[in-house]
Amino acid sequence: MTDLALPRPRPSWTAPLTRASTWRALLPFLSLVAILVPIFLINPRTMSYFGLNLMLGLAIPIMFATLAQMCMLTVNDLDLGIGAYVGFVTCVAATWLVDEPLLGIAVLLGGVLAYAAAGALIHWRNVPSLVVTLGMSFVWLGLAILVLPSPGGASPAWLRAAMGWKPPFVPLPILVAIGLAALVHLFLMRSALGSVLRGAGGNPKAIARAGWSLFKIRVGLYALAGVFGLLSGLSLLGLSTSGDANIAQRYTLLSIAGAILGGCDFVGGRVSPVGAVTGALVLTLAGSLLTFMRISPDWQIGAQGAILIIVLALRALTSRRRR
């Protein structure tokens, strides 16, 4: 008579591990709820289609900028020039893209190639990304001022129409957030290539031993960051209808804060596209909440920083529980 093999009970430590991981994943969404509830309580009219569309109007360019920063974090790098680059895109699109479309398209594509070249330089010479991207920020700002010395220009008609589109039932920023989060999540988190890209930040030696080129991965992710930055600048121009070299200076810090708030880490290739998009929404709504609370704009940046510190503290607690 043979004995039946009974399943072994799970170790007791797996339950807290699962709970801690779940809390870490849910933290961006809980932060979003924690921002929305007081906004709805203070001003119930914001629960309407018009209210949500008005509050989230500037969320689209911030989402693109946050995803650009997330591409850098995938390979443990950081972009300190994304804000200046977004401003450069608005200046080129507000002038050359309107007056000389072919020249404007060529210059904008050249910006994406410049991002790829920066990735190549960082990999070849082993230069810290902070140094290169900080230097590039001055380049982008100088070029933007040369193209458009003072705020002005005009947004292309097709761009204004795209950003001004009002779909039925659901505001455009919410549809863009859902679509962006789903597409980037499927590519980066569910595809074989996405696993390789994330592995380049988590375990580059293993990826190299498997035959993948770390150089091509970094260059590709930098180019993808340039594309997201380009889309951020175009969407911002469609909303503002004029270009300005300094219009997106805050986007550098907002993109870093949105990515980190959304669950991305500075090292290890740990990123979350859905969390990054959610983090961008949280930072956008935080500005609306502080406005409803009649907090001076001079204090709003500090208040947004306090929100980020609180979320990071909660993440640190969940990480400690996991360990």
Q: Above 50 in pLDDT, residue 2?
A: no
What is the predicted pLDDT for the residue at 147? 94
Residue 57 has pLDDT above 90, yes or no: no
Q: Which residue has the tokens 């850098």?
A: 72
Which H or E run includes 165?
none
Which of 48-57, 66-75, 214-223 shows the lowest per-residue confidence on average (mean pLDDT)? 48-57
- Mean pLDDT in residue range 46-63: 90
Confidence at 321, pLDDT banded by 50, 70, 90: low
Whole-number average pLDDT of the chain: 86
More confident residue, 8 or 205: 205
Plot region of 79 (φ>0 → left; ψ -120 to 50 → alpha; else → beta):
beta
Q: What is the pLDDT of residue 82?
A: 96
Say whether pLDDT at 7 is over 50. no
pLDDT category at 315 given cuts 50, 70, 90 is low
What φ, ψ does residue 53 adopt, rounded to 5°? -65, -35
Q: 49-321: which CATH number, 3.10.450, 1.10.150, 3.30.70, 1.10.3470?
A: 1.10.3470
pTM, rounded to two decimals: 0.89
| Non-local CB neighbours of 1 within 8 Å, separated by 6+ positions | none
Whether residue 294 has pLDDT greater than 80:
no
* DSSP count for the chain of H helices, then E strands: 14, 0
Quickly tell me which residue has 């920063």 as its tokens: 69
Predicted local distance difference test score (pLDDT) of residue 16? 46
CA distance 289 to 284: 9
Cα gap 154→95, rounded to integer Å: 7
Question: Among the listed ranges 83-87, 125-129, 300-304, which one has the minimum average pLDDT value?
Answer: 300-304
pLDDT at 15: 43
Please give the DSSP secondary-structure letter assigned to residue 171. Answer: -
**Which of 6-15, 128-137, 271-280, 304-313 has the weakest average pLDDT?**
6-15
pLDDT over 80 (residue 72): yes
- Stretch 81-92: mean pLDDT, rounded? 96
Q: What percentage of residues in the chain have a pLDDT greater than 70?
A: 89
Q: For residue 10, is pLDDT > 50?
A: no
Q: How far is residue 252's CA from residue 238's CA, in Å, rounded to a whole number?
A: 20
What local confidence, expressed as pLDDT, does residue 17 receive?
A: 44
Q: Which residue has the higher pLDDT, 306 or 94?
A: 94
Spatial distance between the Cα atoms of 72 and 68, rounded to a whole number of angstroms: 7
